[in-house]
Amino acid sequence: MLGALAGALAQIFTIPISVVTTKQQTSDVQQSLVATAKDVIGEDGVSGLWRGLKASLVLVVNPSITYGSFERLKQVLFANKPTLSAGDNFLLGALSKAMATIATQPMIVAKVMQQSSDKRRRQYKSFVDALVYLSKNEGLKGLFKGLGPQISKGVLVQGLLFMIKDQVELFLILFFRLIKQRLALAT
């Protein structure tokens, strides 16, 4: 619960940067961050900097799905294994992130569409409007466009994250156990 709240607050403060970055990436003209932000404000007012906020807030569930899937997959795939190897953790992290990405990809696409829309392109009133447009005009394929690269990036990052996290955790446990033993011997 606190994680979701922290994620939501982070989105509120960082989405203007995301909006400006997306506009820079989809624009024909190369401009500075500040110049692009001024363009967004000129086109949509200050609220334009928070274009796609609702979708971003919904996407806060992605890490929850990832961590929930990780724990469930661990129970299913490695129920009889008390300690997981680095490879096991990488596999679980990769699979859980793939599941979360597949579940949230339509919202990711809608958010990007909303953030990258400008006067020359169709305007979307909300991420639901973008989802409806995609569904009607591009079908299922449109809702999941960009899924391959999104999964590739997420799987690698999350797999490594879970693998390294587990190894660091194991190292710290052993390290503090050693310190405790040394302190016990010294007294």
22 within domain boundaries: no
Q: How many distinct structural domains can be found in the chain?
A: 1
10 within domain boundaries: no
Domain that holds residue 128: 51-186
pLDDT per residue as tens digits for the range 19-31: 899 888 887 888 8
pLDDT over 80 (residue 1) = no
26 within domain boundaries: no
CB-CB neighbours of 34 under 10 Å: 9
Question: What pTM, to 2 d.p., does this model score?
Answer: 0.71
66 within domain boundaries: yes
Give 82 or 114, the one with higher predicted confidence: 82
CATH of the domain at 133: 1.50.40.10
For residues 147 and 96, give the distance between their C-alpha atoms in angstroms, rounded to a whole number.
15
For residues 158 and 98, give the distance between their C-alpha atoms in angstroms, rounded to a whole number.
9
97 within domain boundaries: yes
Task: Give me the pLDDT at residue 118, please.
Answer: 59
Instruction: Confirm if 154 and 87 have CB atoms less than 8 A apart.
Output: no
CB-CB neighbours of 48 under 10 Å: 20
3 within domain boundaries: no
Task: Give me the pLDDT at residue 25, please.
Answer: 86
pLDDT over 90 (residue 60) = no
96 within domain boundaries: yes
172 within domain boundaries: yes
Which tokens hold the place of 148? Answer: 């391959």
Beta-carbon contacts of residue 146 (< 8 Å; ≥ 6 apart):
105, 108, 109, 112
Rounded mean pLDDT of the chain? 88
- Residues in the chain, overall count: 187
